[in-house]
Structure 1
Amino acid sequence: MSSLTLIAVDLNKFNGSLPPNMFHTLPNLETLFIGGNQISGRIPASITNASGLRAFDVTVNKFIGQVPSLGKLKDLHLLGLSQNNLGSNSSNDLEFLKSLENCRKISAEIGNLVNLYLFTVEDNRFEGTIPDTFAKFQKLQVLELSGNRLSGNIPAFIGNLEVFSLFSLTKLLDLSGNSLSGSLPQEVGKLEYTEMLNFSENHLSGDIPGTIGECVSLEYLYLQGNSFHGVIPASLASLKGLQQLDLSRNRLSGSIPKGIQNISFLQYFNVSFNMLEGEVPTEGVFRNATEVAVTGNNNLCGGISKLNLPPCPLKGKKHEKHHDFKLIAAIVSVVSFLLILIIILTIYCMRKKNKTPSFESPTIGLMVKISYEDLYNGTDGFSTRNLIGSGNFGSVYLGSLESEDKVVAIKVLKLQKKGAHKSFIAECNALKNIRHRNLVKILTSCSSTDFKGQEFKALVFEYMKNGNLESWLHPSKEIAGPQNTLNLAQRLSIIIDVASAFHYLHHECEQPVIHCDLKPSNVLLDDSMVAH
């Protein structure tokens, strides 16, 4: 056993744990591949005894705890730790990276050359900031830190990594699904050979740097689920090999650069739920509605007909005579004044007629009516990309309405379910006369037929951006979006909000309302972390 140099038992069903003294009996081991099993426990600290180890891959297992120091593994080329349960929810989880700067070979011909070219630790529970140790790994070609709980800024040195000296593997930088903040460094433009950049589902802000257009080998760019603002850089049109571009769920404004329609390889373009305006191009990727998503930008216009956007206004010519404007303005002013006067008199007469004041809140029947077509267009045809929740009696979609200049949540009833009609009527009756800051506000409803002539019923609510309490209390790697930890003050505030809502329902409503299904997944949080 002591002379063994390679162990490859990956993609099996082995379970149990590795013996603590395992590497004491394998001093000559160079390659260990045990990924794709069900091995649990900790990575033995005796790994430092296998000083000649070049490749260490334990991906897709059930390892837990902190990673031991790897500083004595001076020949290490490949390190794969992804899709485990490593980490201890502390800021020291990535301390083992500092030891990796000693993993090098000293050669008279080459000098001080760092050998590590692949590093993957995605889908674990690592916390803390990205250490500057990565600046030492100047052959690093694949860096995957996604699906952890990393915070802080993205260090600018990442752009200085010589990640392209090996061309045998797909080159990517994936920091998605963490809690990184700050801006995207301008140095990102130095990654001119990288094929995929994924910074999605973080808390990044600021402008998208124009230097990203210098990443000329880029094929996949994912920046969705952040707080980027400003305009979409026109330099993105320089990425001639780009195949997928996702900028959705940010705060981008301005227009869509027309140059993007000239990217011949682009197959997917998503800018949904931003604040974009102006005309949507009609060439290139914009010819196919299934490859483009622009929902949630209420000021966009034009584009192909299948996008269901309003036509762009024509640029009208100025009237030849200035006095025509004055005449029209005078007529409009007089008519407006008369209309306002009539409205005031009507309201006064109605109030005088009704001696008993009414304290009843606006009912659903008085709200703006909305058609099935409006809901269909506002959700991209009830696309699964916009599905944010599902229950016994209905599914909830993210969408936008022409009558509401904001993102909304649309609950579509599953009428084929027994009791769905009764649920719809009961929910309408319960919601029509209640109003409280900690109850989700209903905006309108729809009772109509769909394009197939089948009965259709839906309720439209305010959208709660921060999701439900369940995803904050028990975050999971399967849940998309940033996963933060609630502090004590936030937890107390949520408890008070929920108690306030239930006190109102039980004691202050004209007719008490019993909820019957209080659980964390039914408590929604808005932008300010106020519970509803």
Structure 2
Amino acid sequence: VNSNDEQCRVNSNDEQYRLSRIQIRGILPTVIANLSTKLTSLWLNDNIISGSLPSGIGNLASWAISMYITILSQFPSTIGDISELQILVLEQNTLTGNIPVSLSNCSNLQGFTITKNRLSGALPKELLGLSSPSLGLLLAQNQFTRSLPSEVGNMKNLVSLDTSENKLSGEIPTSIDGCEMLEYLRLKGNFLEGSVPSTLGELKSIQVIDLSQNNFSGQIPASLAKLNFISTLNLSYNMLKGEVPMDGILANSNAFSALGNGKLCGGIKALNLSSSIVLLLISAYAIHRLRRSKQQLPFSSAAEKQNQKFSYAELYDSTNGFSLENLIGEGKYGSVYKGVLKPGEQMVAVKVFKLHQHGAHKSFLAECATLRNIRHRNLVKIITSCSSLDFKHNDFKALIFEYVPNGSLENWLHPSSAEEEGQSLMKLQLIQRLNIAINIASALDYLHNHCGTPIIHYDLKLSNILVGDDFRALVSDFGIVKFLSSIEGKSHQHRSSSVAIGGTVGYVAPGTITCLLKFKQSFN
């Protein structure tokens, strides 16, 4: 850096001083303070400037100073003398020491970032008490200690507050609800403790809250479920406990995370408990079952030790004789009836195969082979199967599934009656449609990549997507699935004749009509 006074005076009438990304090396000269009071912005970022900011920098009238990815070590208290300073960017340096309290004299400050430095000490309450910041206060990845000042509530126009990965302790001030325009609150990776304040639920503009990797305790406040615009809520790896509310953002497993909180319970089914708790529950259940089996062993028959079986007569009675009133779906190879099994009045869906239809028997075997080996929250759950004779001594084969009350996605998107249409428009909102799409993709990812032998569904369509009580999508109908290992092991000629014709016209992938695509290509 040329420290010649004359050189600085040559440029002293410039309103903007930009020396970004030109590989400037050396110490920032003190004569930079001689630049004209007409200077509006000073940009020295992406250089290799070392040392400290000159104490005379307070003489400048700049409203914007940007210096990052340099190796500055300190900035002086005189920085607060730049009364018109609005934006100060000093991220990715090696700054040490404390934030000068004098920075709070910059009453017009709108944005301040010192991310990725080595600053320490307490956050100045005078700085966090300014009402002027409207862009962001980004203080992440430093070594700040003590608590977040209660004065933070004065920053009513602030959009983003980030103190992640520091050493802050204490509680989040309840005055945080004073940040009326706050959209992003990131406090992860500190030592913050106490309860999650219910006043966070008053942040009407908030979109992202990340409180993960702290020491928060107590219950999750129900007020968080009332936030309308929030898209991400991360409470992972704290010490939260109690029951998780089941509405709003807390009912969206794709936007809400509470991993690593071993004492949480309830909430949505997708809530992932820590592995230690899962093992504890499994162990407790196993002990309970073992004790119970020992107590009942003298009175138990061999049949009671097997999975529950249902006869044709039981299924016939449960569906009112497979009546049309109980018919809830029909396909090429089978009809699905709603039933009530006794004892217990369990609601089920009974899929009866049309064995007179060519390929139905093969479809039954395919579904049995598939469903006995797969388990996923977005796949329909099978209870048992039935292979017997009907009252006329004809072969009878059926699969019994858990009943899904909301019907198929086809009924929701393309209702066939005025009643269904009114229900669809009233309940299936945009966020529910998005979650259903994510659920389907999650199920396919599991079938393709995570269930031992990869499985290709081959008949994914709206009528084969069921909608659960919580509007969770469940993929069903595995009658023409193909196991990837068996497909790859056959000749090309055989694959073309057996796979290319699989699926429903209108839904089958166009490429399979003329040629067989490899598995990875078929889902692209």
Structure 1 spans left out of the alignment, 5+ residues = 1-16, 88-92, 104-113, 165-169, 311-334, 336-372, 378-449, 456-532
- Distance in 1, Cα, partners of 2:58 & 2:169: 39
Tell me whether 1:34 sits opposite 2:1 in the alignment.
Answer: no
Tell me whether 1:453 sits opposite 2:438 in the alignment.
Answer: no
Structure 2 spans left out of the alignment, 5+ residues = 275-290, 292-373, 378-448, 455-524
Deviation at 1:282, TM superposition (A): 2.4
Tell me whether 1:51 sits opposite 2:36 in the alignment.
Answer: yes
Q: Which residue of 2 aligns with 1:290?
A: 254
Structure 1 segment 158-177 matched on structure 2, within 5 A: 158-164=127-133, 171-177=135-141
Structure 1 segment 472-511 matched on structure 2, within 5 A: none
Deviation at 1:20, TM superposition (A): 4.8
Contact 2:129–2:153 (8 Å) recurs in 1: no
**Match for residue 81 of structure 2 among 93, 99, 102:** 102
TM-score calculated relative to the size of structure 2: 0.51
Q: Which residue of 2 aligns with 1:151?
A: 120
- Distance in 1, Cα, partners of 2:241 & 2:58: 56
Contact 1:175–1:200 (8 Å) recurs in 2: yes
Q: CA separation of 1:162/1:257 partners in 2, compared to 1, >3 Å: closer, same or farther?
A: closer
- Distance in 2, Cα, partners of 1:138 & 1:68: 21
Q: Deviations over 1:3-31 (max 9, x none)?
A: xxxxxxxxxxxxxx556553143232221
Deviation at 1:225, TM superposition (A): 0.4
TM-score calculated relative to the size of structure 1: 0.50
Equivalent AA in structure 1 for residue 75 of structure 2 = L
- Distance in 1, Cα, partners of 2:215 & 2:29: 46
Structure 1 segment 319-398 matched on structure 2, within 5 A: none
User: Runs of at least 4 residues of structure 1 off by over 6 A?
Assistant: none
Structure 1 segment 116-265 matched on structure 2, within 5 A: 116-164=85-133, 171-265=135-229
- Distance in 2, Cα, partners of 1:100 & 1:309: 49
Tell me whether 1:81 sits opposite 2:67 in the alignment.
Answer: yes
- Distance in 1, Cα, partners of 2:142 & 2:223: 31
Q: Which residue of 2 aligns with 1:302?
A: 266
Q: Which residue of 1 aligns with 2:478?
A: none
Q: Deviations over 1:454-485 (max 9, x none)?
A: 79xxxxxxxxxxxxxxxxxxxxxxxxxxxxxx
Equivalent AA in structure 2 for residue 59 of structure 1 = N
Q: CA separation of 1:20/1:451 partners in 2, compared to 1, >3 Å: closer, same or farther?
A: same
Tell me whether 1:60 sits opposite 2:66 in the alignment.
Answer: no
Contact 1:184–1:206 (8 Å) recurs in 2: yes
Equivalent AA in structure 1 for residue 89 of structure 2 = T
- Distance in 1, Cα, partners of 2:81 & 2:194: 42
Q: Which residue of 2 aligns with 1:464?
A: none
- Distance in 2, Cα, partners of 1:19 & 1:454: 70
- Distance in 2, Cα, partners of 1:79 & 1:162: 20
Deviation at 1:72, TM superposition (A): 5.9
**Match for residue 70 of structure 1 among 38, 56, 65:** 56
Q: Which residue of 1 aligns with 2:357?
A: none
Q: CA separation of 1:71/1:62 partners in 2, compared to 1, >3 Å: closer, same or farther?
A: closer
Deviation at 1:80, TM superposition (A): 1.0
Contact 2:20–2:47 (8 Å) recurs in 1: yes
Equivalent AA in structure 1 for residue 16 of structure 2 = T
Name the SS of the counterpart of 2:109 in structure 1.
coil
- Distance in 2, Cα, partners of 1:220 & 1:139: 21
Q: How many residues align?
A: 287
Q: CA separation of 1:219/1:189 partners in 2, compared to 1, >3 Å: closer, same or farther?
A: same
Q: CA separation of 1:123/1:25 partners in 2, compared to 1, >3 Å: closer, same or farther?
A: same
Q: CA separation of 1:283/1:38 partners in 2, compared to 1, >3 Å: closer, same or farther?
A: farther
Contact 1:134–1:158 (8 Å) recurs in 2: yes
Contact 1:62–1:85 (8 Å) recurs in 2: yes
Contact 1:181–1:202 (8 Å) recurs in 2: yes
Equivalent AA in structure 2 for residue 185 of structure 1 = P
Q: Which range is displaced more, 143-152 or 72-81?
A: 72-81
- Distance in 1, Cα, partners of 2:265 & 2:136: 35
Deviation at 1:57, TM superposition (A): 1.1
- Distance in 2, Cα, partners of 1:20 & 1:201: 41
Contact 1:18–1:42 (8 Å) recurs in 2: no
Larger Rg computed on CA atoms:
2
Deviation at 1:226, TM superposition (A): 0.4
Equivalent AA in structure 2 for residue 29 of structure 1 = D
Equivalent AA in structure 2 for residue 58 of structure 1 = L
- Distance in 1, Cα, partners of 2:226 & 2:22: 46
- Distance in 2, Cα, partners of 1:59 & 1:454: 53
Equivalent AA in structure 1 for residue 244 of structure 2 = V
